[in-house]
Amino acid sequence: MDCHHHVSEALRLSAELLKIADEQQKQCEHDGCILLDGVIRDSAWKIRQAALQWRLDLDPSNGVDGDMTSGIATG
């Protein structure tokens, strides 16, 4: 797996984790679920931040546009 693919997968994973946390938060009122959703959300943002930094290090002209799906390879 090359570095660009690795970064794309990390961005995809972080977006998926945020989606999971958002969906679960709507379905569960239990304190444990809410706490877990917070951990998942925090982890997703940390993964995203690291992946965006790696992407910028690999290609400084790529920039950061704030889109959760940017850099995700399709197909």
Structure token pair of residue 18: 């945020």
Query: So what's the pLDDT on residue 31?
Result: 85
The answer to the question of residue 67 being in a domain is no
- SS3 string of 7-21? HHHHHHHHHHHHHHH
Residue 15 lies in a domain: yes
Q: What is the pTM of this model?
A: 0.71
- Boundaries of domain holding 22: 3-58
Which DSSP symbol is given to 5? Answer: H
Write out pLDDT tens, residues 12-55: 999 999 998 888 777 777 888 888 889 999 999 999 999 999 99
Quick check: is 66 in a domain?
no
Neighbours of 56 (CB within 10 A): 14
Asked whether residue 70 is domain-assigned, the answer is no
In a domain, 30, yes or no: yes
What pLDDT, in 10s, does the model give residues 23-33?
877 777 788 88
Quick check: is 64 in a domain? Answer: no
Is 74 among the domain residues?
A: no
How many domains does the chain divide into?
1
